[in-house]
Amino acid sequence: MIDLGDRHPLDEATVGSFRARGHAVVRGLASPSELAELAPPIVELGTTHAWDTRPLEERDTYGKAFLQSFNLHRADERIRTFVFAPRFAEVAARLLGVQSVRLYHDQGLFKEPGGGPTPWHQDGFYWPLPAERMVTMWMPLVDVPPEIGTMTFASGSHLLTDLRGTRISDESQELFASELRARGLPLDSHGPLAAGDATFHAGWVVHSAPGNPTDRMRPVMTVIYVDADARVADVIRPGQELDHEVWIGGLAPGSPLGDRRNPVLWPV
Ligand SMILES: O=C(O)CCC(=O)C(=O)O
């Protein structure tokens, strides 16, 4: 029985890179034998539980970027093992520099054959929480060669915090592209990733991903972590209402998070 309960070595350079650039890669975070057991249910439910399964050509830019499925850990014990992995959560806590992290939510992000690019955006736009205390783990479940496309990050953009962008769309692409050009921030990616490698990105880092011109699906599983002591934002902004309701149960502004929806994943 796989439990992913051990600690993964993390060097200071990786932590330093995350803090300075807003993203880092952690190679070999899950092993091939672990993924052989845990990835199949994610790959299956990531498509059958996707919220928008209309044909690609009927979807907007956001919808074309990926099949998106939420909180799959509730549907399958093996996916729960993956999402609740102390090994992954401990890395998230160390990168954030906090004692303890909770689950915000998980999501499958499957870029389909012929799927479109993921426009530039900041995740924090959607989150009714302090995004500077949040991090996403993004783990491909198959090897991801350059032509399928991993993410590109505007290094250091997380330090600018809220750039007052907009939801993921053609508009966010244009807005951030010109903002990044004006600021001259370096654009970095981590090259090809193997199944079980993971990138971690900060809640305010501006990021994007190219489209998938191949005939292969790009199944990626993500887990979003939040500092366990973080409180609900004082103001729930337009664009955050859905997340506020669905992921934290509409808790009042300024409230601490609860264990039922947002369980502590580290320490166990
Ligand atoms: O998977 C992608 O294409 C983009 C993922 C992303 O934007 C995220 O995880 O915040």
Of the candidates 147, 104, 111, the residue with the CA atom closest to the CA atom of residue 243? 104
Q: Whose CA is nearest to atom 1 of ligand 1?
A: 109
The runs of H, that is alpha helices, within the chain are 12-21, 32-48, 61-65, 77-83, 86-96, 170-183, 241-248
> What are the tens digits of pLDDT across the range 133-186?
999 999 999 999 978 879 999 999 999 999 999 999 999 999 999 999 999 999
Query: Which one-letter DSSP state was computed for residue 222?
Result: E
Percent of the chain with pLDDT over 90: 97
In this prediction, residue 148 carries a pLDDT of 84
Pocket test for ligand 1, best of 68, 104, 127, 222 (most atoms within 8 A of CB): 222
Q: Whose CA is nearest to atom 10 of ligand 1?
A: 123
Predicted TM-score (pTM) of this structure: 0.98
Contact between 26 and 18 under an 8 Å Cβ cutoff? The reply is no
**Which ligand 1 atom is nearest residue 168's CA?**
7
For the chain, domains (ranges, CATH) are 25-248 (2.60.120.620)
Site residues for ligand 1, CB cut-off 6 Å:
65-66, 109, 111, 118, 123, 136, 138, 151, 207, 209, 220, 222
CA of 93 to the centre of ligand 1 (A): 20
> What are the tens digits of pLDDT across the range 7-65?
999 999 999 999 999 999 999 999 999 999 999 999 999 999 999 989 999 999 999 99
CA of 253 to the centre of ligand 1 (A): 27
- As a whole number of angstroms, the distance between CA 217 and CA 121 comes to 22
Place of tokens 């799927």: 115
- Please state, as a whole number, how many other Cβ atoms lie within 10 Å of the Cβ of residue 104: 24
Q: What is the dihedral of CA 21, 13, 140, 72, to 10 degrees?
A: -80
- What is the token pair recorded at 75? 């549907």
CA of 114 to the centre of ligand 1 (A): 16
Pocket test for ligand 1, best of 106, 111, 207, 243 (most atoms within 8 A of CB): 207
- What is the token pair recorded at 60? 């907007």
> What are the tens digits of pLDDT across the range 185-239?
999 999 999 999 999 999 999 999 999 999 999 999 999 999 999 999 999 999 9
**Which ligand 1 atom is nearest residue 149's CA?**
3
